[in-house]
Amino acid sequence: MDSPDTATRYSRQVRFPLIGPAGQERLGAARILLVGCGALGAGLAEMLVRSGVGTLVLVDRDVVDATNLGRQSTYTNEDVERRLPKAAALAHHLAAFNPLVKLVPCVTEFTPATAPELLADVELVLDGTDNLETRYLINDLCVRAAMPWIYGACVGSSGMTANIVPGETPCLRCLFPDPPPPGTLETCETAGIIAPAAMLVASVQAAEALKFLTGARAAVRRSLLRFELWPWRCFELGAAAAPRADCPCCAERKFPFAEAAASSRTAVLCGRHSVQLRPASPLRVELGVLAERLARFHQVKQNDWVLHFEAEGVHFTLFEDGRALLTGVNDPVAARTLFDRIIGT
């Protein structure tokens, strides 16, 4: 069967008077960047693709894992079995929902080195990440470039979101001047998470994105929204707040997160019993050549984006951009040692 025509597909949304035909047209011309394709990101991506955004750039550093299936929409058992990267799997599923949207999957990490290319020509950045390091980097880059972004976070049954419009609303560092020391905040691993919390944050973010992208800037919410679903509580803070006069980012124009080299070559991933190792400098790996070498000692499987194998009870996933994901280990030093022994530096 043919794909429905554009007018039919978007008819109910166009009938909503605050969007209308002009808003839909603007939405169809918009290019946006989604950083992180987990529970928030997959939910956001699905809503925006179905609503008819023009181009969606999807970036994620991870592969689909069985623990994701309990809450991250669109992913399937087959994605887990094939160990597909989230950005690639999500783009594949989204294309089936709406072939009119241009999808640009990027299987990489959002860092100061990769960001300029990912941000090119976008008009809005959506936060679907699960870590503060990346959010502070997004904040630095967006405030520096006067580009709006939509912060979102969730854990347990709670969620938080804010629209950050540089020069108009408080930025992430106005709200939380410095990231807390690692290990002090609850994560999906320590506190768990229920799917509705993620979907509610994603829904609020998607609604705000639609306001931005259809040209309804005056309707964009200016408060920090925080809620808990279980038990129910909801707080809306700082509806009239402006950027802080002493904000290191907005006022002093200091952008340490954007200017830092990637702070560490290892990262322990949220809720995954996994460690990511990244190369000291950007590189491109010939996965086919590496697979041949490793196949002498290990049972190696490969798809278009990654190769993977098991060694010493640890599951290795190797990406073209030189990153490695080691699942079954929590200690970064142990992960690095094992990587050096099995793959070499």
Where on the chain is the footprint of Zn ion (CB under 5 A)?
Answer: 171, 173-174, 243, 247, 249-250
Q: Do the bridges between strand 149-155 and strand 158-164 make them parallel or antiparallel, or are there none, so unpaired? A: antiparallel
Here the tokens at position 195 are 């799917």
- The minimum distance between CB 158 and Zn ion, in angstroms, equals 23
Which is nearer to Zn ion, 57 or 174 (by Cβ)? 174
- The minimum distance between CB 247 and Zn ion, in angstroms, equals 3
Which is nearer to Zn ion, 19 or 250 (by Cβ)? 250
- The minimum distance between CB 217 and Zn ion, in angstroms, equals 19
Cα-based angle 114, 55, 226 (whole degrees, multiple of 5) = 75
Which is nearer to Zn ion, 67 or 176 (by Cβ)? 176
- The minimum distance between CB 176 and Zn ion, in angstroms, equals 10
Which is nearer to Zn ion, 169 or 276 (by Cβ)? 169
Taking the C-alpha atoms of residue 32 and residue 54, their distance in angstroms, rounded to an integer, is: 8
Taking the C-alpha atoms of residue 53 and residue 123, their distance in angstroms, rounded to an integer, is: 12
Which is nearer to Zn ion, 115 or 174 (by Cβ)? 174
160, 226 contact by CB (below 8 A): yes
Which is nearer to Zn ion, 35 or 171 (by Cβ)? 171
Which is nearer to Zn ion, 26 or 254 (by Cβ)? 254
- The minimum distance between CB 125 and Zn ion, in angstroms, equals 16
Which is nearer to Zn ion, 9 or 144 (by Cβ)? 144
- The minimum distance between CB 241 and Zn ion, in angstroms, equals 10
- The minimum distance between CB 243 and Zn ion, in angstroms, equals 5
Q: How far is CA 18 from the centre of its chain?
A: 28
Contacts of 50 (CB under 8 A, 6+ apart): 97, 98
- The minimum distance between CB 134 and Zn ion, in angstroms, equals 17
* Burial of 328: CB neighbours in 10 Å, binned 0-12, 13-18, 19+: middle
255, 268 contact by CB (below 8 A): no
Element (H, E) at 210: helix 195-213
* Burial of 165: CB neighbours in 10 Å, binned 0-12, 13-18, 19+: buried
| Number of neighbouring beta carbons within 10 Å of residue 189 | 17
Taking the C-alpha atoms of residue 256 and residue 248, their distance in angstroms, rounded to an integer, is: 10
- Verify cis geometry, omega within 30 degrees of 0, for the bond prior to 112: no
